[in-house]
C-alpha cells in the first residue's frame, strides 16, 4: 500500500522541488503522446522557478504540494478566479499512488465550496485517460504553439461539481 500523502499550500522554499517534479514528469510521460521535439519544447517552458514563486504569492492562484514522508511528491496549480486547474504533476517515482487524484480532489472541494458548478482543465494528451478516470469529459482538442514554434496538442476537459 502506498504511503499517505497530505496536500497543502506550497511555500517558496519548495519551488525547486516543484520544478524538478514538473520536468521529470514531462520527460517520463510526455514521450507516450508527443515527439521528442515536442517534449523538449514543453519542458523548456518550465525553465526556472520564477513561475512557481509568483504563484505562491498570487492571491488568484493556489499552488499546492503533495507531501509524503516529509517529501514533496507532487504539485498542483489552480486559478481560483476562473476555476481552472492549471497543473497536476506527480514525481514519476510515485506514479499510481493516488497523489494526482488527491491533488485534484483538493481543488474540486475548494471550487465546490466557493460555489463553482464545474471545473475545467486543459489536459496534455498523455494525461487524458487519468482525467477521464476522475470523471472528466473531453470538450475540445486544441493546439498550442510553444515559444519555439512547435505545436503541442492538448484537450479541454470539464467535470460537473
Per-residue model confidence as pLDDT tens digits over 31-84: 999 999 999 888 887 777 888 898 999 989 999 999 998 899 999 999 999 999
**Domain chopping of the chain, boundaries:** 6-120
DSSP letter for 125, please. G
Q: 6-120 in CATH: which number?
A: 3.40.630.30
Q: What mean pLDDT do residues 117-141 have?
A: 96
Report d(CA 71, CA 69) in Å as an integer.
5
Determine the Cα–Cα distance for residues 27 and 31; give it in Å rounded to an integer.
7
Q: What pLDDT sits at residue 1?
A: 45
Strand (E) or helix (H) holding 103: helix 99-113
pLDDT tens-digit map of 71-122:
999 999 999 999 999 999 999 999 999 999 999 999 999 999 999 999 999 9
Phi, psi of 78 (to 5 degrees): -125, 130
Does 149 score more than 90 pLDDT? no
* d(C-alpha 122, C-alpha 37), whole Å: 20
Query: CA 82 → CA 2, 62, 64, 67, 114, distances in Å?
Result: 33, 12, 17, 26, 11
Amino acid at each position: 500500500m502506498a504511503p499517505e500523502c497530505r496536500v497543502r499550500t506550497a511555500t517558496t522554499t519548495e519551488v525547486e522541488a516543484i520544478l524538478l517534479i514538473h520536468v521529470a514528469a514531462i520527460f517520463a510521460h510526455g514521450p507516450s503522446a508527443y515527439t521528442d521535439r515536442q517534449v523538449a519544447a514543453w519542458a523548456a517552458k518550465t525553465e526556472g522557478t520564477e513561475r512557481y514563486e509568483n504563484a505562491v504569492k498570487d492571491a488568484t492562484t493556489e499552488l499546492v504540494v503533495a507531501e509524503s514522508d516529509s517529501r514533496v511528491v507532487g504539485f498542483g496549480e489552480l486559478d481560483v478566479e476562473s476555476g481552472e486547474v492549471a497543473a497536476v504533476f506527480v514525481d514519476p517515482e510515485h506514479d499510481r499512488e493516488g497523489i494526482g487524484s488527491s491533488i485534484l480532489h483538493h481543488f474540486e472541494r475548494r471550487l465546490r465550496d466557493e460555489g463553482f458548478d464545474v471545473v475545467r482543465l486543459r489536459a496534455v494528451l498523455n494525461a487524458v485517460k487519468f482525467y477521464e478516470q476522475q470523471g472528466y469529459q473531453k470538450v475540445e482538442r486544441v493546439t498550442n504553439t510553444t515559444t519555439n514554434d512547435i505545436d503541442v496538442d492538448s484537450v479541454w476537459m470539464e467535470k460537473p461539481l
